[in-house]
Homo-oligomer: A and B are copies of this chain.
Amino acid sequence: MPDILHRIEAKTSAAKAYDALTTRDGLARWWTTDTQGSFELGGVIEFRFGSRGFIHMKVIEREAGQRVLWQVVDGPSEWLGSRVRFDLEQDGEHTAVLFQHQGWKEASRFMHHCSTKWALFLMSLKSLLETGHGAAYPNDVHVTCKAD
């Protein structure tokens, strides 16, 4: 099954990157401002994107400063059952975020689109970690000619 893969580095600690992946305030500042739910292990986080739709992620793993793994439990049909994983690797003043959105059934147009969007949201995360300002929905960067 095809995966979406990305990697960014930010001038920050793994602890701060982990906070941005595991707290309401962090997630709301780089992915979507409309983030709610339960952020603990086994909880379900609800990410909403207005009329574009929503995604519910169950927290499958969270290891402080190292790894976060979510399973999609509701949302776009092509996302159902897929998993989103972040691995953190600190090296001195920098932290790398290795990203995988695993378990797509096929390399659809929508998967191509989501791959590009993930890259831009990860750049939003990098910006948040380095400057304090991300580009979360509804202020995200568009890759198509309509809202996406």
Taking a contact as CB atoms under 8 Å apart, the answer to whether B94 and A112 are in contact is: no
Which of A4, A7, A126 is the most central at the interface, judged by chain B CB atoms within 10 Å of its CB?
A7
Of B7, B10, B111, the contact of A113 (CB 8 Å cutoff): B7
How far is it, in angstroms, between the C-alpha of A143 and the C-alpha of B121 when the chains are bound? 12
Residues in B whose Cβ lies below 8 Å from that of A80: none
Number of A interface residues, CB 8 Å? 32
Taking a contact as CB atoms under 8 Å apart, the answer to whether B94 and A8 are in contact is: no
A144 within 8 A of B: yes
Residues in B whose Cβ lies below 8 Å from that of A122: 116
Contact A111-B5, Cβ < 8 Å, known A116-B122, A122-B116 = yes
Residues in B whose Cβ lies below 8 Å from that of A96: 144
A123 within 8 A of B: yes
A73 within 8 A of B: no
A119 within 8 A of B: yes
Which of A93, A109, A115 is the most central at the interface, judged by chain B CB atoms within 10 Å of its CB?
A115
A-B contact pairs, 5 of them (CB 8 A): A4-B115, A5-B107, A5-B111, A8-B116, A9-B143
